[in-house]
Structure 1
Amino acid sequence: MSYDPNQGNNPGYNPPQGENPGGYPPPQSQSPEYGYPPPGGYPGSYPPPPQEGYPGGYPPPPGGYPGAYPPPQQGGYAPYGPGGYNEPPQPLPLDEAIQQLPSQYLRVTTKPGANTFAQEKGKAAWNIIWVQLLFLGIVTGILGAISLAITLPNTLNSLNNSHISPSTLEQIKTIYASLPVPFAIGSIFAVIAGFFISTGIYFLIAKAFGGQGTFLQYAYSYLLFEVPLGILSSLVSLVPILGSLAVLAIGIYRIILQIYMTMAVHRLSGGRATLAVLILPIVLIILACVFIIVLVSLLARNISTQQ
Structure 2
Amino acid sequence: MSWDPNQGGQVPQQPTPPPNPYETPASPTPPPANPYGPPVNPYGQPPVNPYMPPTYYGGQPGPYPPVMATPLPLEQALRELPRQYMRVISHPSAETFAQELGKASWDIIWVQLLGLSVLYAIITFFTRLASSALLASILPSAYRALASSASVAGSLLSSLISLILLVGSFFILQGLIYLLARAFKGQGSFLQQCYSSMLIYGPLLTLFIICSIIGIIPFVSILGLIVEIIALIYALVLLVFATMGSQRLQGGPASAAVLIPTGGLLLLACCGATILAAMIAASLNSTY
Q: TM-score, normalised by structure 2?
A: 0.64
Question: Which segments of 5 or more consecutive residues in structure 1 lack a partner in the other structure?
Answer: 1-66, 80-84, 295-307
* Structure 1: distance between partners of 2:109 and 2:271: 37
In structure 1, what is the equivalent of residue 63 of structure 2? 78
Letter of the structure 2 residue corresponding to residue 137 of structure 1: S
In structure 1, what is the equivalent of residue 31 of structure 2? none
Question: Which residues of 2 match residues 204-243 of structure 1 at below 5 A?
Answer: 204-237=179-212, 238=215, 239-243=220-224
Change (3 A) 1:279 1:181: closer
| Residues 89 and 119, structure 1, Cα contact 8 Å, conserved in 2 | no
Change (3 A) 1:141 1:72: same
Matching residue within 281, 287, 291 for 2:262: 281
Matched residue SS, 2:221:
coil
In structure 1, what is the equivalent of residue 121 of structure 2? 141
Q: CA deviation at 1:185?
A: 5.7
Q: CA deviation at 1:102?
A: 1.5
Matching residue within 64, 73, 97 for 1:93: 73
Matching residue within 67, 73, 93 for 1:113: 93
Q: Deviation string for 1:27-84 (max 9, x for gaps)?
A: xxxxxxxxxxxxxxxxxxxxxxxxxxxxxxxxxxxxxxxx97748844xx322xxxxx
| Residues 258 and 277, structure 1, Cα contact 8 Å, conserved in 2 | yes
Change (3 A) 1:72 1:196: same
Matched residue SS, 2:72:
coil
Change (3 A) 1:293 1:268: same
In structure 1, what is the equivalent of residue 17 of structure 2? none
Change (3 A) 1:183 1:211: same
* Structure 1: distance between partners of 2:55 and 2:272: 52
**Is 1:132 the equivalent of 2:107?**
no
| Residues 213 and 266, structure 1, Cα contact 8 Å, conserved in 2 | yes
**Is 1:253 the equivalent of 2:228?**
no
* Structure 1: distance between partners of 2:187 and 2:100: 16
* Structure 1: distance between partners of 2:84 and 2:211: 22
* Structure 2: distance between partners of 1:247 and 1:293: 22
Q: Deviation string for 1:201-225 (max 9, x for gaps)?
A: 2222222222221111111111111
* Structure 1: distance between partners of 2:227 and 2:149: 33
Q: CA deviation at 1:176?
A: 0.7
Change (3 A) 1:291 1:223: closer
Question: Which residues of 2 match residues 146-225 of structure 1 at below 5 A?
Answer: 146-156=126-136, 160=139, 170-180=145-155, 183-184=158-159, 187-225=162-200
Letter of the structure 2 residue corresponding to residue 101 of structure 1: L
| Residues 125 and 220, structure 1, Cα contact 8 Å, conserved in 2 | yes
Question: Which segments of 5 or more consecutive residues in structure 2 lack a partner in the other structure?
Answer: 1-53, 276-288
Matched residue SS, 1:242:
helix
Q: CA deviation at 1:290?
A: 8.8
| Residues 138 and 187, structure 1, Cα contact 8 Å, conserved in 2 | no
* Structure 2: distance between partners of 1:152 and 1:292: 22
In structure 2, what is the equivalent of residue 270 of structure 1? 251
Letter of the structure 2 residue corresponding to residue 78 of structure 1: P
Instruction: Identify, as 1 or 2, the structure richer in helix.
Output: 2
Q: CA deviation at 1:123?
A: 0.9
Change (3 A) 1:204 1:179: same
Matched residue SS, 1:120:
helix
Number of residues of Structure 1 aligned to a counterpart in Structure 2:
216
Letter of the structure 2 residue corresponding to residue 195 of structure 1: F
Structure with the greater relative contact order (CA < 8 A, sep ≥ 6): 1 or 2?
Answer: 2
Matched residue SS, 1:240:
helix
Change (3 A) 1:156 1:204: farther
| Residues 259 and 273, structure 1, Cα contact 8 Å, conserved in 2 | yes
Q: CA deviation at 1:155?
A: 3.8
Q: CA deviation at 1:178?
A: 4.7
Change (3 A) 1:121 1:291: closer
Matched residue SS, 1:195:
helix
Letter of the structure 1 residue corresponding to residue 170 of structure 2: F
